[in-house]
Each structure stands twice: as structure tokens, then as C-alpha cells.
Structure 1
Amino acid sequence: MSRKKFSWLAVLMVAIFVLAACGNKKEEKSSSDKVEMVDYTAKNGTISIPKNPKRVVITADSFAGYALQLGIKPVGLSSFALSNKYFGNRIDGIVDVGGEESPEKIMSLNPDLIISFAQSENLDKLEKIAPTIAILPKEMTFKEEMTEFGKIFNKEEEAAQWIAEWDKKVAKYKPQVQKVVGDQTVSLLGVYGKNAYVYGDNFSRGGEIIYGEFDLAMPKIVREETSKGKGYASFSVEKLPEFAGDYIFAESGDEKFSKTKQTGLWKTLPAVKNNRVFEIDETDAYFSDPVSLDQQLEEIVDVFTK
């Protein structure tokens, strides 16, 4: 064999070896990049989701805090979720996907998991982008929801730990609060001109803590009306004396409420006379996720014990 032929043969063999090696590396990389999937049963059926999702988009506003508390930083959140003051710098860098749940904007984030409300009109479109969990608000208690999100994000131990720490804090503060309030009643109100609302123990506004954890009493009519399935009730503002407790937590930020506070009816309420009315920001009132609740707990304890 001539030297020239031997040289070309050597080059060919080297090239084949390199290509084979590259092919093996590509195959190894493909194998290592394979995402492990698990089945999860949601409102839209049993779906296959990543066991450890990396790029999560949450359009179900009230559930964003569960992800954040479990160490999952979504790549996209709704505008309303991003308005939550309790999230602080935890949401730095998260993309605002708007308030209309735009499939185009969500697709641009290349999510591997989407969490949306079950009643979303865009559910079919979202399901074509990535595995989508459809969820309903207020169907479970916040502890049950925390446990559920522990399953979704493969963070069950972390979820259980948060619940255990929460229970310790409640056990510490509950006797202090009950000593102050005793058998007096507490109302959570939203007053808007001629219309007013009262909220129960699982409709945010601090109800989960005030009624659910501290076992403080509602006025009888509030208990009756909010236990009819909705978790809240509406009534005419003329009936405020019936629905107003010895302590009132009222949503602020509404111009009509500001006018109501100037009326004689409002000023006759015992809670007003005794300086036991505490205003809560209208936007913040909607959040009852673990991040928000942790801070609301401190605020509520301060209200009753300061």
C-alpha cells in the first residue's frame, strides 16, 4: 500500500471515530435531558406533568404564593398576582403575562407547566402549549392546598414543614388574641355605597386566620349567611348594624367606603365608637396563600394585642 493511500485511510478512520464519539455524546445528552413525568389529577382530568418543573407559568392569581413559598420561582405570573405587596423581592425578574391570560405571551416563555383557573376560557389553548393544571379557588383550606402544591412541585416535605411551623405560630399567638377578644365578635366587611359584603372563614380578608385559626366569633347572622356555600354574603348597607361585629376589618381604598364612613349610620356602630375598626387594603385582602398569610398573621396579632 502506498504512503498516500495509507494516509487517506488513516484520516478516514479518524473521521469515523470522531463522528461515532459525537453520536454517542449526543445520545448520552439526549438521555440525560429526558424529563421525568408523573400523572396528576386536576379539574381537567389526569394529566402528565414534569416531576420537577423548571419553567412554570401561573395565571391562577391566588395560587402564586404556594409556588414561591416552596422555592419555585415562576417564569410568568398574572398582573394581579404581581401586585401582591407581600411577595416583595421574591417576584423580581418574573415576567408579567398580563391580566387576559394571553396564550401568545405565555407560549413565548416556553413553559413546561401552566397552572390556570378551571373556568378559564383559554384552557384549551393553554393545554396545547404545555401540561396545564386547572384548579378551582376556595375548594380546599389553605393547608390542604399547600399539601397539594407540595405534590405538584415534588416538594411534599417542604409543604409539610411549612404547615408544622405555621401551626406552632398559631399555637403561640392564639391564647394571646383570645384573651383580648374573648366572646366578642369580629366582622370582615366590604362597604361600597348602598351595597355591602361580609366574608366568612375561607374567603381571604384574614378570615382563615381570624375565624379558622384563632376561633374568634362571627355575629350570628354572618355565620348563617356565609355558610350557605359561597363563603360570603351581600346585603343592603342599611343592615350594617346587624352584620357589624364588636371588631371590624373593612376593605379600604374605595371612594364609596370613604363616604360611608362619614354617615351617621356608620358612626353609630359600636366598633366605630370603640375605635375597633381596622382597614385592610382592598387588593391585598384577596390573597390567602402561605407567603401572604405568614405576614397577615403578624398584622392581625398586632391589631388585637397592641
Structure 2
Amino acid sequence: MKKLLVPFLLLIVLTISACNSATTKQESNPTKAENKATTITYQSENGPIDVPSNPQRVVVLSSFTGNVMALNVKLVGVDSWSKMNPRFEKALKDVQEVSDESLEKIIELKPDLIIGLSDTKNIDKLKQIAPTVTYTYAKVDYLTQQLEIGKLLNKEKEAKTWIDDFKKRAQKAGEDIKAKIGADKTISVIESSDKQLYVFGNNWGRGTEILYQEMKLEMPKKVKEMALKDGFYALSLEVLPQYAGDYVILSKNPDADNSFQQTDTYKNMPAVKNKQLFEVNAKEFYFNDPLTLDYQLEYFIKNLLGK
């Protein structure tokens, strides 16, 4: 009886030992499914790329800083244009200013995701630091761009919710504005930069997407002819009145030469004489990310509707 019992007990011990060994092996070697859960595959314009499913240290080398901030994702590095935006100043206080040439600085920030434009320099080197996704500016419309950023950051639902709400608010405001000022009234977006003036089409930031795409307000014929295709058009002071609508949004760079505002050409424009020209800080109005768009919409409602 004892001779039979010993092999039986030995078999039980070996079985338990094998089970424990298998369990330990599984714990020390996560399954492929568990590994895959830490990343997602984003379909970028350059093909599929694996990116963090929950990025914690993002570097933005372009105009998409506000797009990322709107989705509450942590930034560790941003471009100079974003850093000089007064409305972003508080949120970006501890975020480093970087460029596509400050590779060592970017390495020190230990990013887990880098976002840039298609013409960003050193892309191959950046890809060695962290997954790098680039976009071609204006390849998709401004709201689709936010949806793409949402997909990239694994926050597509949040992006879609904001987009739907924003469109409703902007379109309703447009209906109210046209009812107040007249559907046939025109509006221009003009900007001062150094010693050059620019007028913008319907997709170049500065609130143009809201005014023309969502609100369906009219741009002057001359603006439509010269700025609609390329998005912007450089002009001289002498021809400025030809591009000025009944209403004008003047995106004014406080650091630029704005002496043109002291000229008779400027002062005699109907929009100026009728007090229908509204100045905004260009540094706050440049972009078309959700944070800036919400600010622009509030500004237009306040100044064009008087609310």
C-alpha cells in the first residue's frame, strides 16, 4: 500500500509545481493582447502608425496645441507661436518651447508622442525619439482636423461631441447676426503684420471659418476673387478700401507697424466711419483650434450682436 501511495503523492507534487511555474511564466510574460492594449493604430495620412493609447507627454511642433489642450492631454513641449498666445500663457507656463531643430531638448522631455506638420524638419530623427504624426495644413477642413486629433489621442468621442455642439452654436449665431445686420452685408478679416497687410479667405484662422463657413456671412467680391483660393492675399494700404467689407475684423499684431491706422485712407473706410470695425489681438486670433474657436465665437456674438 505504501509503495502505491508514494508515486501518487509524487504525481500531485509535480502537477502543482507545473501549475505554479506556468502561472509565474504568464505573469512575467504578458500576453500579446495585454501589450497591444498600451497602444492603438492611428491611420495617419502617411499610413498606419502605433501610438500610445493614453499619451502622457506630448510635444506639438505646429499649430495644434489648442487641439490637444481641448482634449485635456498633457503637453511637455510646444512651438513658439503657441507659447506667445496670451490666452494659452497660464496653461503653458511649465511647458517648454521647442522647435523641429531642438532635438536634444525634445529628447530631454521624453515625449511619448510628437505632432507636427508635413513640412516639419528632421521628421526621421523625431521618429527615433517617439511616434511622430504629421498633418498637411488645410488638407481637411478645420473640424475634421479636430476629429483626427481626437482619433490620434484616443478621444474621438470627446472631439465629436465638441464639434456637433460648436456647429449648432455657430450656425445659430450666424442666423441671428444676419437677421440683425442684413443678409447682404459683407465682412472682411484683415491683418497687420510688420509693414504688410493681409486679407483672408474662408479657411485661414482668424475667425474666418466661423464667419464664412458656419455663419455663411458674405465676403466682399474682391476678397472672393483674390483670397478665396489661396486662403490669404497680401495687399497695400492704397487698395485696402477695395477689400474692406461693411464690417471688418482687424486682426492687429501689437508688435507690428500699425501706423496705417493714422492715414486718411484707413480713417475714411465706411467700416471705420460707421464704427463697424472691430480690433482683435492677432496673437489670440491666429488659430482654429477648439479653444480659440470658442473664444472667437464669443467675440463675434458680443460685438456683432451686442450680447
With the length of structure 1 as denominator, give the TM-score of the two structures: 0.84
Q: Secondary structure at the match of 1:75?
A: strand
Asked if residue 221 in structure 1 is aligned to residue 222 in structure 2, the reply is yes
Q: Secondary structure at the match of 2:146?
A: helix
The one-letter amino acid of 1:231's match is: G
Distance (Å, rounded) in 1 between the aligned partners of 2:243 and 2:70: 35
Shift of 1:97: 3.2
Q: How many residues were matched structurally?
A: 287
Cα distance change on mapping 1:144 and 1:295 into 2, 3 Å: same
Distance (Å, rounded) in 2 between the aligned partners of 1:302 and 1:184: 18
Deviation track 1:51-95 (CA, whole Å, cap 9, x = no partner) reads 3322211111x11111111221222222321322333644353x2
1:53-72 aligned within 5 A: 53-60=55-62, 62-72=63-73
Identity of aligned residues (%): 36
Query: Does the aligned pair in 2 maintain the 1:189–1:249 contact within 8 Å?
Result: yes
Shift of 1:114: 0.6
Asked if residue 248 in structure 1 is aligned to residue 225 in structure 2, the reply is no
Cα distance change on mapping 1:112 and 1:256 into 2, 3 Å: closer
Q: Secondary structure at the match of 2:143?
A: helix
Query: Does the aligned pair in 2 maintain the 1:97–1:106 contact within 8 Å?
Result: no
Distance (Å, rounded) in 2 between the aligned partners of 1:105 and 1:44: 26
Shift of 1:209: 0.9
Q: Where does residue 18 of structure 2 map in the other structure?
A: none
**CA-atom RMSD in angstroms:** 2.7
Structure 2, gaps ≥5 residues long: 1-20
1:1-306 aligned within 5 A: 26-27=28-29, 36-60=38-62, 62-87=63-88, 89-93=90-94, 95-99=95-99, 101-182=101-182, 183-191=184-192, 195-228=196-229, 230-254=230-254, 257-306=257-306
Query: Does the aligned pair in 2 maintain the 1:65–1:291 contact within 8 Å?
Result: yes
Shift of 1:265: 0.9
Q: Secondary structure at the match of 1:279?
A: strand
Query: Does the aligned pair in 2 maintain the 1:114–1:133 contact within 8 Å?
Result: yes
Deviation track 1:248-306 (CA, whole Å, cap 9, x = no partner) reads 11122356653111111111111111111111212122111001111111011111022
Query: Does the aligned pair in 1 maintain the 2:199–2:243 contact within 8 Å?
Result: yes
Shift of 1:28: 5.7
With the length of structure 2 as denominator, give the TM-score of the two structures: 0.83
Q: Which moved more, 1:73-82 or 1:42-51?
A: 42-51
Cα distance change on mapping 1:92 and 1:26 into 2, 3 Å: farther
Q: Secondary structure at the match of 1:91?
A: coil
Deviation track 1:171-211 (CA, whole Å, cap 9, x = no partner) reads 43222211222111111112457642100111011101111
The one-letter amino acid of 1:227's match is: L
Structure 1, gaps ≥5 residues long: 1-19
The one-letter amino acid of 2:300's match is: I
Distance (Å, rounded) in 1 between the aligned partners of 2:80 and 2:151: 26
Q: Secondary structure at the match of 1:261?
A: helix
Q: Secondary structure at the match of 1:218?
A: coil
Query: Does the aligned pair in 2 maintain the 1:189–1:251 contact within 8 Å?
Result: yes
Distance (Å, rounded) in 1 between the aligned partners of 2:159 and 2:75: 17
Distance (Å, rounded) in 1 between the aligned partners of 2:194 and 2:110: 45
Distance (Å, rounded) in 2 between the aligned partners of 1:52 and 1:256: 41
Distance (Å, rounded) in 1 between the aligned partners of 2:78 and 2:194: 33
